[in-house]
Structure 1
Amino acid sequence: MRRERLRLYLDLIRWDRPAGWLLLLWPSLSALWIAAHGFPGWPLVAVFTLGTILMRSAGCCVNDVADREFDRHVKRTAQRPVTAGKVSVKEALVLGAVLALAAFALVLTTNAAAIAWSFAALAVALIYPYAKRYVSMPQAVLGVAFSFGIPMAFAAVQSRVPLTAWVLLLGNLFWVLAYDTEYAMVDRDDDLKIGMKTSAITLGRLDVAVVMLSYLAYLAIWVGVLASRSLGAIFYVAIGIAAAQAAWHYTLIRGRTREGCFKAFRLNHWVGFTVFAGIAGSYALA
């Protein structure tokens, strides 16, 4: 029985689907390297890596509770533990709270600035699951939530959040808009039936074009911010590879098939990893 409960809890936090926390991790690590002008030290890397996994897992708990009535009408989500009644709402919320507290305990090892900003990060994370009911582009809210590791990283390294961090957050928001619109394109038919608001529905036939423009805006903003850092050829090669991946995603989503759009979404963490590798590699060889 205990093993069965553990399996359900792991399913609840998407333990077997690491793409979600990887999408959070790479921008946060990139910001750590930028803020520290190079390797920020293993303690901060560990705090942000573990914190990312914990907060993404906590977010899954809250999201599944908030969406349990909607998820039962969507093919892809109908068998999620809370929606299927295998895990109670109370269990999910308690697990989410424990995971969030564990993440906060990690933040307490940093500094006052990072601790203060962690409350704003938590607030945005809690707002997002309900934004899908009221905001025509809830992916923009998710963009803020999934980008908040950037100002948190600067706060942890520099005890402040400079303008650079906010511009990088803006750029990353466009990347989130790109990949989460791809994700929303998978469920568009179901979401239309149940009245869910998503960017894929709001954009209509402009969805593919906006996804590609969002990729472009993400890469252009990050290059613009980091151009003065003299990161060298490795960074620009990485940006070129990331752009090539985005172009490949166009071939996956242009037909708007469920399979193609979901594949594009699942592979997006490689775009973030490529940008991070270019940044970290450039600083290592500087």
Structure 2
Amino acid sequence: MTSTVPPATPPSRLTLYLQLIRWDRPAGWLLLLWPTLAALWIAADGFPGWHLVAVFTLGTVLMRSAGCCVNDVADREFDRHVKRTAGRPVTTGAVSVKEALLLGAALSLASFGLVLTTNPPAILLSFAALAVAIAYPFAKRVLAMPQAVLGIAFSFGIPMAFAAALGGTEWNLRAVPLSAWALLVANLFWVLAYDTEYAMVDRDDDLRIGVRSSAIALGRWDVAGIMMFYATYLAMWAGLGLRLGLGRWFLAGIAVAAAQALWHYTLIRHRQRAECFTAFRSNHWLGFAVFAGTVVDLGLR
């Protein structure tokens, strides 16, 4: 007697949407969250209040999710040729382009609603943040190191946090000090480090289909470049933190982050895909170390 296997139940729309926004991969939004919250604590000179913590935490999750929607629509033809991304819902057609864009728009509007509860300078910066987030997926087609655009997108929460914490009712950006923009530049180097690790995973596929990345641009200097990016980020963040009045506990967090960066070197030096992906996915702990050092230092004043 022949047994028949019942057909697999297709995933629900909710399941597909959760796959689209990478709900099962929180490392992505944690990479945005820790520097944003660290900047929020620095700007407020301590605990900024639950309102701003909630706004920036939820806003980070929502905007990262919206960015995934835009990215998957822009990359749908490329993703089908890469093993790691071939099963994404937009690429397979399980979620239509229209659905993905509508979901991304809804998530962006929800995030904007949170920003509206802050102040005019933060609201102004949110438009620039959205523009950079939309531009990133297309930067891969024209820039040798599109990770630089991603670095700006993933660091824009820093000046927004300063704007929201320092207040101001005027529609200008005077509330955002130069130190906030300097922290953005410093954080950009961290993004270059971890996203180059990420790009090393897909380098062979990217070369085959013609997508540009920092891993390709750096060539045999990829590992050295990543370590230089880590060193620049940590040195700049440490120097700026000290200039802003942070002390030994902050430096302890920087030291823990530096130790993690050295561990990443042991993972990526042989350029194996699995180890490079492990290094990328663990980067949020490096960011958490800097955030934790900042919070403890300010809390113990």
For the aligned pair, the TM-score class normalised by the smaller chain equals over 0.9
1:174 alignment counterpart: 189
| Structure 1 residue 87: Cα displacement | 0.3
Equivalent pairs counted in the alignment come to 286
Question: Deviation string for 1:74-129 (max 9, x for gaps)?
Answer: 01000000001100000000000000000000000000010011000000000001
Distance in 2 between residues matched to 1:226 and 1:145, nearest whole Å: 22
Structure 1 residue 244: deviation in Å?
A: 0.3
TM-score by length of 1: 0.98
Matched AA of 2:66: A
Alpha-carbon distance in structure 2 between the residues aligned to 1:235 and 1:97: 38
SS at match of 2:89: coil
Which residue of the partner structure matches residue 164 of structure 2?
Answer: 156
Please, which moves more after superposition, 2-11 or 46-55? 2-11
The verdict on how the C-alpha distance between 1:93 and 1:278 changes in structure 2, with shifts beyond 3 A counting, is same
In the alignment, does 2:252 pair up with 1:237? Answer: yes
Shift of 1:235: 1.1
Q: Flag structure 2 segments of 5+ consecutive residues without an equivalent.
A: 1-8, 169-174
Counterpart code for 2:77:
E
1:112 counterpart = 2:112: no
Aligned counterparts of 2:127 and 2:13: Cα–Cα separation in 1: 30
1:256 is aligned, of 257, 268, 271, to 271
User: CA offset at residue 3 of structure 1?
Assistant: 6.7
| Long gaps (5+) in structure 1 | none
Higher Rg of the two aligned structures? 2
CA root-mean-square deviation: 1.1
Between the aligned partners of 2:243 and 2:202, the Cα distance in structure 1 is: 41
> 1:237, CA displacement in angstroms?
1.2
Q: Please report how far the alpha carbon of residue 228 of structure 1 lies from its aligned counterpart in structure 2 after TM superposition.
A: 2.7
Question: Which residue is 2:5 aligned to?
Answer: none
Structure 1 residues 109 and 2: CA distance shift in structure 2, 3 A:
farther
CA deviation after TM superposition for structure 1 residue 2, in Å: 10
**Given the alignment of the two structures, is residue 47 of structure 1 paired with residue 55 of structure 2, yes or no?**
yes
Kindly report which structure 2 residues correspond to 1:210-221, keeping only aligned pairs within 5 A, or say none: 210-221=225-236
**In the alignment, structure 1 residue 24 sits paired with structure 2 residue 32:** yes
Match in the other structure for 1:188: 203
The amino acid that maps onto 1:21 is W
Query: Structure 1 residue 207 and structure 2 residue 222: aligned?
Result: yes
Question: Is the counterpart of residue 165 in structure 1 residue 180 in structure 2?
Answer: yes
Identity of matched residues, %: 72
**Does residue 107 of structure 2 align to residue 99 of structure 1?**
yes
TM-score (norm 2): 0.94
